[in-house]
Amino acid sequence: MGRWEPDARGRLQRAALDLYVERGFDETTVQDIADRVGVTERTFFRYFADKREVLFDGSERLVNGVVDGVKNATDAMPLTRVVSAFAGMGEFFDERKSWSAQRARVVTATPGLMERELLKLSTMGVAIAAVLEEQGVDAHEAALAADLGVAVFHRAFQRWVVDESATFSACVRATSDELQAAVRKA
């Protein structure tokens, strides 16, 4: 056994989510989280840039997955490629649905966390737009398609979290269909 308990990062993440659920984000100090794990406040900040980031650890993998999905998509239309890429992340989400639901409740209940979530989504949109541009899509069109794809993802996610039995990709497809309907009617 090493000098300290292993996986401080993972333990901090779990303790943080637990505490945020138990007593709320604002009512939880970083000191509380560190104490529960048995490390120092300073150690928390070595692993996570701030008190919010501890809930956004998977986000990089999500972005990578979606970006790859867009790169490999074959459909002719940019928006379709983006939506397919999100639908392709079904496993990623379905595997940790109960964790996602718990996390989502805390995030939506806390403006500060919602801000960070929206920034991550926006950043993902920029990354997706960059891929589309690489693929020869006009900049305006790429940015719009990326933002629309992200909007579809966001709504689909809400739906998926609320509906206990739904599959993630099914939610994406359903939302995408609604998008078609909403726009074609206009």
Partner DNA sequence: CGCCGCGATGTCAGTTGCTGACATCGGAGA
Partner DNA sequence: TCTCCGATGTCAGCAACTGACATCGCGGCG
Phi, psi of 80 (to 5 degrees): -65, -40
d(CA 41, CA 29): 9
Specify the residue, 41 or 138, whose C-beta has the smaller distance to DNA. 41
Residues of this chain, 137-176, that bind a copy of itself according to CB under 8 A:
140-141, 143-145, 147-148, 151, 154-155, 158-159, 175
Q: How many CB atoms lie within 10 A of CB 143?
A: 18
Q: Is 109 in the site for a copy of itself (CB under 8 A)?
A: no
Specify the residue, 19 or 129, whose C-beta has the smaller distance to DNA. 19
Specify the residue, 50 or 177, whose C-beta has the smaller distance to DNA. 50
Q: How many CB atoms lie within 10 A of CB 159?
A: 17
Q: Is 79 in the site for a copy of itself (CB under 8 A)?
A: yes
What does 16 interact with, of a copy of itself, DNA, none (CB < 5 to 8 A by kind)?
none
Phi, psi of 57 (to 5 degrees): -80, -35
Structure tokens at 86: 């999100």
H or E segment to which residue 92 belongs: helix 90-94
Among 7, 109, 119, 135, binds a copy of itself (CB under 8 A): 119
**Applying CB under 7 A, which residues contact DNA?**
1-4, 8, 28-31, 38-43, 45-47, 49-52
Minimum CB–partner distance for residue 30 and DNA (Å): 4
Minimum CB–partner distance for residue 79 and a copy of itself (Å): 5
Counting other chains too, the contacts that 156-160 makes at CB distance below 8 Å and 24 or more residues apart are 156/86, 157/93, 157/104, 160/93, 160/97
Say if residues 30 and 91 touch (Cβ distance below 8 Å): no
Interface residues with a copy of itself (CB under 8 A)?
76-80, 83, 111, 114-116, 118-119, 121-122, 140-141, 143-145, 147-148, 151, 154-155, 158-159, 175, 178-186
